[in-house]
Amino acid sequence: MPRPYKILAVRPDCLTTEQKKMIPRRIRRKITWGYKPNMDLNKYTHIVVPKKYTKKENTLLVKDDDLFIWQCVSSLANIMPETWFDAILESDNYFEKNHVHMLIHMEYNTNVHNETLLKLKTHLHMGRPRFLTNAKITILDTQNKEISKKKKEWEDIIHSFGAEIHSKPKPDNEKTLLPYNSMYSYKDGKKKVQNSCWILKYEDSKIKSIWKSDQEKYTVVPFRFVLECIARYQILPIDIKIVPLEVGGKSMESTKRPDEKSNDGPGSTTRGSTTGSTSKTQISF
């Protein structure tokens, strides 16, 4: 029985016309040449991304201002480099060895996080709840017009990772389910590691004092906090030093190494428990 697969080559001209003809027909007829806005990326088994995303071996480069690549990360598709096509051209049986070229690490903010993309995709294919399940996220407004224009797109992307999006913060209470993939403390199983209510802010965002003072109900952090969590495939804790936490009238400064790891454990929990899209942005490649 033929293996069901469907491939999206993001750059339509990543191969010449002659090279495309050389790809075995059984593979070629499964390839869509060229990404277009509003495509459903979840219908593809493989997305072949341009070289600018794959400067390091088996590593996907993700950035703050590139919404498209975060859509690829949240999709069900495995992400492949264009060199994968070169290998297929050399051997028509190479397709079944796609794991050799598959992008499995993520690089964000100059840090490479080993096998985090592999874990994220594996868990999606296993049918586990999406990474941000039970997180209730509010993105605050900013005066920056360029950022504001992308707010709805970011909300859609974050929602595609499993989070609930709220226009106003929804504070935690005793019955609130904590983020499904939140970490737990080995020393104190009753200690809550992260809230479900996340408030993502920008430098000029208006922040209410109650959000900063009541850390048992709200987590107020810079927007990149959610991207750090995704790239690391970890729900970072309340006392995080990687991304400064808004407390009182100040932001806690970073004292932890960027690559310092934390323990993690899966499963939805309530407080005190021990158990564990599409974009309209024009893309240029």
Query: Could you tell me the mean pLDDT of each successive run of 10 residues in the chain, 285 residues long?
Result: 79 96 90 95 96 94 95 96 90 66 94 96 94 96 95 97 96 89 58 86 94 90 94 85 57 40 40 38 49
Q: Identify the pLDDT of residue 91.
A: 76
Q: What is the DSSP letter of 179?
A: P
| The total number of residues written for the chain in this structure | 285
* pLDDT score for 237: 84
Same domain, 93 and 160: no
Cα 282 from Cα 121, distance rounded (Å)? 26
Give the CA-trace dihedral at 227, 229, 233, 237, to 10 degrees: 180
Q: How many CB atoms lie within 10 A of CB 239?
A: 13
Phi-psi region of 122 (alpha: psi -120 to 50; beta: other; left: phi over 0): alpha
Task: Tell me the C-alpha distance between 72 and 121, whole Å.
Answer: 11
**pTM summary value:** 0.82
Which residues span the domain enclosing 108?
Answer: 7-125
Position 189 scores a pLDDT of 55
- CA 244/CA 171 separation, integer angstroms: 20
* Whether 63 and 100 share a structural domain: yes
Q: Are residues 22 and 89 in the same domain?
A: yes
CATH code of the domain in which 82 resides: 3.40.50.10190
11 plus 119 within the same structural domain:
yes
What one-letter code names the amino acid at 254? Answer: S
Q: 9, 105, 15, 95: which is closest to 56 by C-alpha?
A: 105
CA dist 193 and 263 (Å) reads 10
User: Domain for residue 282, yes or no?
Assistant: no
Distance CA 105, CA 110 (A): 13
Tokens representing residue 9 in the block? 């080559």
Q: What is the pLDDT of residue 249?
A: 46
Residue 5 has a pLDDT of 86
Q: Contact, 156 vs 132, CB < 8 A?
A: no
